[in-house]
A and B are shown apart, each in its own frame.
Chain A
């Protein structure tokens, strides 16, 4: 069964801290995505990766970076966390060979920056 896992369900960090959010998929998918979700704003794409070591900026990349050293793992990094990065973060993956580009989501990480 398809599975996307995220390292934490809930995370509380202080302003200025460096924060790592990890995502792992076990489906050998080429594409992986990081979104943030805020009330009234829907899902906004932060970064995505279509291959190991490849990445592209999404709609709101400012304040974030990503790392993909292995196919199954995609990390989102907040270099210096700020309170406006308090949000729900969702990771997803998809198979390039699929004609649908259906995405499989992890359970989400609710990050609070104080």
Chain B
């Protein structure tokens, strides 16, 4: 079952512009993570935000979390052609045990035009 729902499904921007991607989820979470997938490759972890955090930065990435709205956003500033990829949000359950797992959304396709 899908917990995270990303929005929009596809985004096309010009190099240098900012890209904003959103993720909504349904149940309480321990943390929310964003992953990137280059075409035909595996996913790579980008950034994690815990349920008690509201904002986090990592280089050109900024992620926010609003637990009252059950939503998160990922901002990529000053985008580059190399940022062209699919981006996925994933949520970790509130109560985590040895057999816990992440739940991934369907992904957002970002195209950055040179």
**Could you tell me if A33 and B101 are in contact, using CB atoms closer than 8 angstroms?**
yes
**CA of A111 to CA of B88, assembled, Å:** 22
Encode B32-44 as 1/0 by CB contact (under 8 A) with A.
0101000011111
**Could you tell me if A101 and B92 are in contact, using CB atoms closer than 8 angstroms?**
yes
Knowing A90-B42, A106-B42, A108-B42, the reply to whether A101 touches B105 (Cβ < 8 A) is no
Encode A35-50 as 1/0 by CB contact (under 8 A) with B.
1000011110100101
**CA of A107 to CA of B43, assembled, Å:** 8
Shortest distance from the beta carbon of B83 to any chain A beta carbon, whole Å: 19
B44, B45, B98, B101: the one contacting A45 at CB < 8 Å is B101
**CA of A45 to CA of B106, assembled, Å:** 12
Residue ID in chain A nearest B1 by CB atoms: A59
**Could you tell me if B48 and A100 are in contact, using CB atoms closer than 8 angstroms?**
yes
Please count how many residues in chain B sit with their CB below 8 Å of the partner chain's CB atoms.
Answer: 26
Encode B74-96 as 1/0 by CB contact (under 8 A) with A.
00000000000000101010001
A residues near B (Cβ < 8 Å) are: 4, 30-31, 33, 35, 40-43, 45, 48, 50-51, 56, 59, 88, 90, 92, 94, 96, 99-108, 110
**Could you tell me if A42 and B45 are in contact, using CB atoms closer than 8 angstroms?**
no
**Could you tell me if A40 and B102 are in contact, using CB atoms closer than 8 angstroms?**
no
Residue ID in chain B nearest A58 by CB atoms: B101
B residues near A (Cβ < 8 Å) are: 1-2, 30-31, 33, 35, 40-45, 48, 88, 90, 92, 96, 98-102, 104-107
**Could you tell me if B107 and A107 are in contact, using CB atoms closer than 8 angstroms?**
no
**Could you tell me if A108 and B41 are in contact, using CB atoms closer than 8 angstroms?**
yes
> Which residues of the other chain, A, contact B88 by a CB distance below 8 angstroms?
42-43
> Which residues of the other chain, A, contact B105 by a CB distance below 8 angstroms?
42
B33, B35, B101: the one contacting A100 at CB < 8 Å is B33
**Could you tell me if B42 and A4 are in contact, using CB atoms closer than 8 angstroms?**
yes
- Extra 6 A-B pairs, beta carbons < 8 Å, given A31-B98, A31-B101, A100-B33: A45-B101, A48-B101, A90-B43, A105-B35, A106-B42, A110-B40
